[in-house]
Amino acid sequence: MREIGGGVFRDSAAAAIEANAVFCFVLRNPVVTGAMLNHATYKNPAVLSHHAMRRMVGRIALLLPFVLAGGTILISLLGSSHALPQPLLQRSISDYRYTAMGDCYVGGLCAIAAFLMCSRGYDWTDEITGYLAGFLALGVALCPSVNPRDPVHSPLQLELNTVHTVFAAQMFLVLAYFCLYLFRKTAPGKSLTRRKRHRNTVYAVCGTVILVCDALMVSLTLDRAERLLRPINPLLTCESLAMIAFGVAWLTKGNGILRDRPHNHVQPL
């Protein structure tokens, strides 16, 4: 009986040691622990809400140019004249303030501003950038550009138009900073995955598109540049491309595109 009891005891001790070794291996294995952390992150309501907010920003920015143009055309066709609006497309996104989609324009920008101000990052730099971008977007919404249909503009209208232009140019610069720097950072304690490298490429492309469009919009103040780009309706085209790039970047950041999967393996740098 003693031998049997001793054997059972030794078997139990060996099993306990083996289980402990397996447990330690699992905890120290970055692939396994990374998958466990990713799974826990995907189930965290706060993280899910934050990602949903970012996706909403992306969707509004991505769809806003199409909704404004398409809505104006549709309302005109359904109206009393049953004809296409003249002009078919406005000179800029800001000019849609003076169409039937004016409330949608202001509401969309205010929604983007609110979401940007609620954005949270890893440190105070991210938060300040979010507040600044939100403030600039709100300035674009609340400071109207001049109505292109008015033959004469008051000094106040011209001053507000200048403020509107400055707010818009600065907003796109901050949005490019989000894409080219803040979004490409890796969270503390996390490794760079293959999907993260793909997302960084998307952010770099979107940020570059925003910067190029912003530079082209600023160049339109020069008569020569405005004459060269006039055939492509440059202001509306550049604003729309910048908003689309901004929307794609935020959709990506909100795990709407190229999200990490729990089984993704960490790739060496």
Q: Where are the alpha helices (DSSP H) in 143-154?
A: none
Look at residues 98, 176, 181, 112 and name the one whose alpha carbon lies nearest to residue 140: 112
In the block, residue with structure tokens 């909403």: 56
Domain spans in the chain, listed from the N-terminal domain onward: 1-43, 44-253
Amino acid occupying residue 84: L
pTM above 0.85, yes or no: no
Please report the pLDDT score of residue 69 as a whole number.
96
Token pair in block for residue 105:
């324009």
- Using alpha carbons only, how large is the chain's radius of gyration in Å? 27
Look at residues 74, 93, 94 and name the one whose alpha carbon lies nearest to residue 85: 74
Q: What is the pLDDT along the chain (269 residues), one digit of tens a residue?
A: 444 445 544 555 554 455 444 434 434 444 444 444 444 444 556 566 778 888 999 999 999 999 999 999 999 999 888 899 989 999 999 999 999 999 999 999 999 999 999 876 667 888 899 999 999 999 999 999 999 999 999 999 999 999 999 999 999 999 999 999 999 988 777 778 889 999 999 999 999 999 999 999 989 888 888 888 888 899 999 999 999 999 999 999 988 888 877 655 444 44
Please report the pLDDT score of residue 263 as a whole number.
55
Look at residues 100, 78, 20, 57 and name the one whose alpha carbon lies nearest to residue 252: 57
Angle at 98 between CA 164 and CA 102, to 5 degrees: 85
The reply to whether omega before 144 is within 30° of 0 (cis) is no
**190-199 burial, b for 16+ CB within 10 Å, e for fewer?**
eeebeebeeb
In tens, the pLDDT along 147-181 reads 999 999 999 999 999 999 999 999 999 999 999 99
Please report the pLDDT score of residue 120 as a whole number.
67
Asked if residues 55 and 254 have their Cβ atoms less than 8 Å apart, the reply is yes
Please report the pLDDT score of residue 41 as a whole number.
47
CA distance 146 to 152: 10
